[in-house]
Amino acid sequence: MELSDLLRRLDELIENGNRVLATSYSNHAPGVVPQKVLREVMAGFRTASLSFIARVYGETHIHYTEFNCETAGSYADSAKCGIAILQAIQSEIRGGWLFTVKGLIAAELFSDFLEMAEHLLESGYKDPAAVMVGSVLEEHLRQLCGKHGIPTEDDRNGKSVPRKADGLNAELAKHEVYTKLYQKLITAWLDLRNKAAHGKYDQYSEDQVRDLLSGVTGFMANVSL
């Protein structure tokens, strides 16, 4: 499959996401969140996007796990998050971050993802950059938990449910993997990532995303796996 084919398919998926947003409605007063979307339309967008991401990156890749987690609900915010992740993938591919080795594969190292985020910022894409850096941060927290024997899932009614990043952050600080100061910083970083993932683009600036990238890079260097 050529890069042009991937980009064309991403355009289609992003347009599908916009069609999902066009079905937004609310059972509450106008302007009150959460806005819902038609379940069947969301399901089609989600399934098609996950299939695409799995084929390009694999099901263990951070893009796949992030999309799978963030688009689980039939809400407008879920669709916005999915679109943001697809836009981040689109920018990676357009910027030449994928290489052909027995087909298209992606660089797996976190440092590569942070470089991608920097490239997105330099190209004026602060929102997908924020999502990408935040996703790398969350995955680093999960791997730190694994290293220190801290559970990353909870048992709810016999089902394993992944813990939220804020919960992982609290547990890591509690076990003194890093300081309370880092805990507070990470809480702020995750908040910025959530704003980006939920389409609240006017609530943070490009400079704040640059600070996020710098802060997460320094944190990962100081608190390594």
pLDDT 10s digits, 72-129: 999 999 999 999 999 988 887 887 665 432 233 333 456 778 888 898 899 899 999 9
Is residue 118 a part of any domain in this protein? no
Residue 138 and residue 99 share a domain: no
Residue 88 and residue 43 share a domain: yes
Residue 145 and residue 85 share a domain: no
Residue 143 and residue 81 share a domain: no
CA angle, 88 as apex, 82 and 93 as ends, to 5°? 125
Residue 130 and residue 78 share a domain: no
Q: Rounded CA gap, 8 and 1, in Å? A: 11
Average pLDDT (149-165) is: 84
64, 53 contact by CB (below 8 A): yes
Is residue 221 a part of any domain in this protein? no
From 71, 106, 141, give the residue that closes a domain: 106
Query: In which band, very low, low, confident or very high, does the pLDDT at 49 lie, cut at 50, 70 and 90?
Result: very high
Is residue 115 a part of any domain in this protein? no
From 106, 134, 166, give the residue that closes a domain: 106
Is residue 151 a part of any domain in this protein? yes
Is residue 36 a part of any domain in this protein? yes
Instruction: State if pTM tops 0.85.
Output: no
Strand partners, 104: 100
> How far is Cα of residue 147 from the mean position of the Cα atoms in its chain?
22
Q: What total number of domains does the chain contain? A: 2
DSSP structure class, residue 75: B
Residue 146 and residue 70 share a domain: no
pLDDT for the residue 102:
29
Residue 155 and residue 65 share a domain: no
Residue 61 and residue 131 share a domain: no
Percentage of residues in the chain having pLDDT higher than 90: 54
Domain that holds residue 202: 123-215
Q: Residue 117 is encoded by which pair of tokens?
A: 């985020």
Q: Alpha helices, DSSP H only, in the chain?
A: 3-21, 39-57, 62-70, 76-94, 110-122, 126-147, 165-174, 180-197, 206-222
Residue 150 and residue 88 share a domain: no
From 81, 106, 131, give the residue that closes a domain: 106
Phi, psi at 159, each rounded to 5°: -115, 140
pLDDT for the residue 85:
93
Is residue 171 a part of any domain in this protein? yes
Residue 70 and residue 142 share a domain: no
